[in-house]
Amino acid sequence: MQSHFWEALLYGMPVHVNTLIMVAVALVILLSITRLLTSSISIRPNRLQIFAEMLYDFCRSITFSSAGKRGDTFLYYVGSVFFFVLTCNLLGQFPLKIFELPHGELMAPTGDINVPAALAVGSVIMYFFFGLKAKGLKYFKHYLSPLPDLMAGQSLPVKITYATFFWPFILLNIAEDLTRPGSLMIRLFCNIFVGEILTGVAHSASHYLLPIAVMGIELFVAVVQAYIFAMLTNIYISLLSEDHDHHEDEHDASHTPNEDAKVPSLAVA
């Protein structure tokens, strides 16, 4: 594992310079594409604007599927995460070996565990932020999750019995805040890292046809993993910022035949 990275010290902390280079490249690509697509916005859209609106509709279909119109408040984060992860994943499929580095080699930035870890921590911060914004201090009530529903309308001995037997759920709910980012991080990192290893193994077996097939699979995996990361982030945020008092209204509103109900179908595969 040591030979993969070009390690350097920044303020006494080790950083992986090749990962930083690739993240910077991904950001430059994303920003320039965004500038290009939004350069000429008008009432009568040209092709670039239609393409940009298509991408926007796709991101909106992710948040709309679980949160409805409420999803527009966190659409910017989910969409940004989707396109950043997608760009990072796809960067690994470029012929990066032609660039010589003093140590290590360039690879997909999400194949370094620090990038998925940072993204997962970002997801946790966002669902805490939106949960606290939507519910205030009532947000912390969800840590007690099965108990209030069970205890509603019961007599005191029954309540005490429930509390005696179901208190470990509180620990589980707290542990969920750790397992959620952990699973997000491991899923993204392992998929991309396994892809890099698989391409290497295929390349050592045969130089021509086999790596092409594996890289074709990798393109699919890159899109699906970016989609899953955005989808799970969206599910966590919408689940934890759901206010039960307004839930019924939104449920009715999502079934009215307005223009927002027409969500484009998910064209992933």
Partner 1 sequence: MEAATTYTIGGPLAMAIATIGPGIGIGLAAAAFFNATARQPEVRGPLQGVFFAAAGLIELMALLGFITLFL
- Candidate list 115, 231, 237, 240; residue touching partner 1; CB under 8 A: 231
Residues 6+ apart with CB under 8 A from 85: 110, 119, 188, 225, 226, 229, 230
CB-wise, 2 or 164, nearer to partner 1? 2
- Is 59 a residue that touches partner 1 (CB under 8 A)? no
Among 181, 227, 240, 242, binds partner 1 (CB under 8 A): 227
Residue among 52, 59, 62, 106 that touches partner 1 (CB under 8 A):
62
Residue 54 as a binder of partner 1 (CB under 8 A): the answer is no
Residue 125's SS3 state is helix
The footprint of partner 1 on this chain (CB under 8 A) covers a number of residues equal to 22
3-state class (DSSP) for residue 10: strand
Cα separations in angstroms, 74 against 30, 64, 130: 19, 11, 8
Considering only CA atoms, which of 76, 57, 108 is closest in space to residue 233? 76
Question: First CA to last CA across the chain, in angstroms?
Answer: 33
Query: Is 198 among the residues that bind partner 1 (CB under 8 A)?
Result: no
Question: What DSSP line would sit under 162-194, residue for residue?
Answer: HHHHHTHHHHHHHHHHHHHHHHHHHHHHHHHHH
Nearest CB to partner 1, comparing residues 33 and 190: 190
Shortest distance in whole angstroms from residue 14 CB to partner 1 = 19
b/e per residue, 160-172, with b = 16+ CB within 10 A? eeeeeeeeeeeee
Environment class of 130 (CB within 10 Å of its CB; exposed 0-12, middle 13-18, buried 19+): buried
Write out the binding residues for partner 1, residues 205-224 only, by CB under 8 A.
224
Q: How far is the CB of 254 from partner 1 (least distance, A)?
A: 13
Please tell me whether residue 178 binds partner 1 under the rule CB under 8 A.
Answer: no
β-bridge partners, 105: none
Identified binder of partner 1 from the candidate list 186, 198, 219, 253, rule CB under 8 A: 186
Q: Does 58 bind partner 1 (CB under 8 A)?
A: no
Residue 187 touching partner 1 (CB under 8 A): yes
* Position among 87, 89, 123, 225 found at the interface with partner 1 (CB under 8 A): 225
CB of 183 to partner 1, least distance (A): 5
Place of tokens 């982030």: 233
Alpha carbons 59 and 80: distance in angstroms, whole number: 9
Please tell me whether residue 3 binds partner 1 under the rule CB under 8 A.
yes
| Residue from the set 150, 163, 198, 228 that interacts with partner 1 by CB under 8 A | 228
* Binding region for partner 1 (CB under 8 A) out of 6-14, 17-25, 143-151, 186-194: 186-194
The reply on whether position 65 binds partner 1 by CB under 8 A is: yes
When asked if residue 190 is in the footprint of partner 1 (CB under 8 A), the reply is yes
Backbone CA torsion sign across 163, 169, 173, 174: positive
SS3 199: helix
Write out the residues near partner 1 by the rule CB under 8 A: 1, 3, 61-62, 65, 183, 186-187, 190-191, 194, 224-225, 227-228, 231-232, 235, 265-266, 268-269
